[in-house]
Amino acid sequence: MSTVLFVCVENTFRSVLSEALFNASPPQGWRAESAGVQAATAINPVVVDLLQEIGIRLGAKTPRTVTSEMIARASRVVTFGCLDRCPVGAKDKGEDWPISGATGKSMDQLRAIRDEIRRRIADLQTRLPSFAEPAKPRARKA
């Protein structure tokens, strides 16, 4: 299984949205994780609402700090203006999406951010290598 790691500053909004949107319909052989360079103590509660509006449930999620091990495990790293603050190795696997955070935004602006992230994820998914599902053994006829 290959991993896309989404990293923002606090792991409360953009990276959490990205992880959930990606994992709602991941390409075969891929999954997403998220982290922050300075993890906050709680997810921005508006994320739950923004995802529910489009039929995605977030479930339990706590912000976490990005580590060198996470970067090493990831096949791709997507950052939101913090690539220069990520552990070594992120730049070699990464791309930076210039999308603003949630602070001071109206619900309509937050929906626009969600939709922009959704569009970028759809584009990213078309650029990821696909992995064929291993062939299942055929049942033998008796």
The fold of 2-127 is: Rossmann fold (3.40.50)
Please report, in tens digits, the pLDDT of each residue of the chain (142 residues total). 999 999 998 999 999 999 999 999 999 999 999 999 999 999 999 999 999 999 999 988 899 999 999 999 999 999 998 767 676 677 788 899 999 999 999 999 999 999 999 999 999 999 998 765 444 444 555 5
Q: What is the pTM of this model?
A: 0.87
Q: What is the pLDDT of residue 135?
A: 41
Secondary structure string (H, E, C) spanning the chain: CEEEEEEECCCCCHHHHHHHHHHHCCCCCEEEEEEECCCCCCCCCHHHHHHHCCCCCCCCCCCCECCHHHHHHCCEEEECCCHHHCCCCHHHHEEECCCCCCCCCCHHHHHHHHHHHHHHHHHHHHHCCCCCCCCCCCCCCC
